[in-house]
Amino acid sequence: MSPESMSPESMPPEPRSCRIIESTLREGEQFANAFFGTEQKIEIAKRLDAFGVDCMELTSPAASDGSRRDCERIAGLGLRAKILTHIRCHPDDARLAVETGAQGIDIVFGTSSLLREFSHGRSVDQIVERAAEVIELLRGHDLEIRFSSEDSFRSDPEDLFRIYQTVDRLGVHRVGIADTVGVASPRAVSQLVGRLRELVGCDIEFHGHNDTGCAIANALCAFDAGATHIDTSVLGIGERNGITSLGGLVAGLYVRDPDGIRERYDLPLLRGIENFVAELVGIDVPFNNVVTGFCAFTHKAGIHAKAMLNNPSTYEILDPADFGLERYINVAHKLTGWNALRHRAEQLNLELDERELREITRQLKKLADDKPLGLSDVDTLLRSHRSQEMTLS
């Protein structure tokens, strides 16, 4: 059915938009190698703002004097993105946070029995009481307030729901579910977020660690189940092996709604942001990184190459051009096919017929069985064959 012939009821709903809370300047500071000076933080903040993230989360002003000063500086830059700061659920931290000029405060409290016993030693009733005190203190200011429960997936769901419903009634703008230890499966995330969506009226945020490699999948499941905000960091840097990466989340959202994502975010800036942060923290961008890994748009096998040359959608769900990148079709190997070599011959302006191309492919495969080849080997073979033909005729 064409869109014109659809009745309003049968039209697909407008895709919901997901708010990104970019936490490189908070969770990212917890990455093993991270040390960001003030100017570096400002540069990261400006680049993320230009990319189009909705909010940025900064380290608690209670962490150190420098953290407090940097939070004030960045909050005062007048960026388009909302500046949030992260605090423990404590009135002293809340007072400090208000003074930074940040537009929102992200409160976090450990709710799992492990954290209740071995970290802060409080009961659920005491958590609710403390939360009410801090929220009350913040409500007098024009601030966005979020309350999140650390280690949500190892907390008793009944405790969690009681806490979330209480803070929702107290007027927080958002509640946060945090998979602090990366234990959640996509299904568990869908269930918890889906249930919470039925119980609270405020927005829902998801923060997921990557200990079992599920951080991106979990974030997408959270969004699909009704979360409104997702936490990310550049390249996923954070505590241990980190959280949902900005690029990974954006790629997942792009697949659902390419037009919306192209419009909301300046996608070609992603690679520069990742390279900048990678250099600052002394790491390489992983080869298999979503979107920007060096081979993310490299196609190799003969059947892939043939189809890609006819229509790139056959093996690409992300258009590299949207991210300012180019695809590469690798023809110099034993898995190659004569269609791919024909394309290369055309690029070189060499006229070769199918019989010749099949023969060249056979020779190339033979060479490639013995050693790795480069494009120049392919070109030499194509050219030498052409000159042989010309000498013969």
108 is in the binding site of which of ligand HCA, Cu ion, none (Cβ under 5 to 8 A by kind)?
Answer: ligand HCA
Q: Is 176 in the site for ligand HCA (CB under 6 A)?
A: yes
Q: Is the distance from CB of 386 to CB of 352 less than 8 angstroms?
A: yes
Between residues 149 and 292, which has the closer beta carbon with respect to ligand HCA?
149
Between residues 108 and 138, which has the closer beta carbon with respect to ligand HCA?
108
Between residues 114 and 375, which has the closer beta carbon with respect to ligand HCA?
114
Q: Is 229 in the site for ligand HCA (CB under 6 A)?
A: no
Residue 374: CB minimum distance to ligand HCA, A: 45
Between residues 155 and 336, which has the closer beta carbon with respect to ligand HCA?
155
77 secondary structure, DSSP code? T
- Bridge-based pairing of strands 82-88 and 104-110 is parallel
Between residues 180 and 330, which has the closer beta carbon with respect to ligand HCA?
180
Q: How many residues bind Cu ion (CB under 5 A)?
A: 1
The amino acid occupying position 232 is T
Q: Is the distance from CB of 228 to CB of 204 less than 8 angstroms?
A: yes
Q: Is 27 in the site for ligand HCA (CB under 6 A)?
A: yes
Spell out, one character per residue from 137 to 156, where the chain touches ligand HCA: x when CB under 6 A holds, - when not.
-----------x-x------
Cα angle 77, 139, 209; round to 5: 65
Window of 2-10, 173-181, 268-276, 321-329 that interacts with ligand HCA by CB under 6 A: 173-181
Catalytic residue, chosen from 304, 333, 343, 385, is: 304
Q: Is 371 helix (H, G, I), strand (E, B) or coil?
A: coil
Between residues 242 and 337, which has the closer beta carbon with respect to Cu ion?
242
275 is in the binding site of which of Cu ion, ligand HCA, none (Cβ under 5 to 8 A by kind)?
Answer: none
Window of 47-55, 129-137, 174-182, 184-192 that interacts with ligand HCA by CB under 6 A: 174-182
Q: Is the distance from CB of 182 to CB of 212 less than 8 angstroms?
A: yes
Residue 60: CB minimum distance to Cu ion, A: 13
* Cα(333)–Cα(317) distance, integer angstroms: 24
Window of 59-67, 116-124, 175-183, 303-311 that interacts with ligand HCA by CB under 6 A: 175-183
Q: Which two tokens stand for residue 87?
A: 């605090």
Q: Which stretches of the chain are DSSP H helices?
A: 38-51, 65-75, 91-99, 113-115, 124-139, 157-169, 186-199, 215-224, 246-256, 258-264, 270-280, 302-310, 338-347, 354-370, 375-392
Q: Does the active-site annotation cover 141?
A: no
* Cα(273)–Cα(269) distance, integer angstroms: 6
Q: Which residue among 56, 108, 267, 364 contacts ligand HCA (CB under 6 A)? A: 108
CA 239 to each of CA 24, 279, 290, 311: distance values in angstroms, whole numbers, following the listed order:
11, 18, 20, 41
Spell out, one character per residue from 27 to 56, where the chain touches Cu ion: x when CB under 5 A holds, - when not.
x-----------------------------
Between residues 109 and 297, which has the closer beta carbon with respect to ligand HCA?
109
Between residues 245 and 330, which has the closer beta carbon with respect to Cu ion?
245
Residue 143: CB minimum distance to Cu ion, A: 22
325 secondary structure, DSSP code? -
Q: Is 330 in the site for ligand HCA (CB under 6 A)?
A: no
Q: Is the distance from CB of 82 to CB of 101 less than 8 angstroms?
A: no
Q: Which residue among 239, 341, 350, 356 contacts ligand HCA (CB under 6 A)? A: 239
* Binding to ligand HCA, residues 77-96 (CB under 6 A): 86
C-beta neighbour count of 358 within 10 angstroms = 14
C-beta neighbour count of 213 within 10 angstroms = 10
106 is in the binding site of which of ligand HCA, Cu ion, none (Cβ under 5 to 8 A by kind)?
Answer: ligand HCA
Cα 243–chain centre separation: 9
Q: Is 22 in the site for ligand HCA (CB under 6 A)?
A: no
Q: Is 100 helix (H, G, I), strand (E, B) or coil?
A: coil
Instruction: Give 220's Cβ-side CA count (13 Å radius).
Output: 16
**Which residues 6+ apart lie within 8 Å of 253 measured at CB?**
18, 220, 223, 260, 261
- The residues carrying an active-site annotation are 304
Contact residues toward ligand HCA (CB under 6 A) are 27, 30, 86, 106, 108, 148, 150, 176, 178, 180, 207, 209, 239
Contact residues toward Cu ion (CB under 5 A) are 27
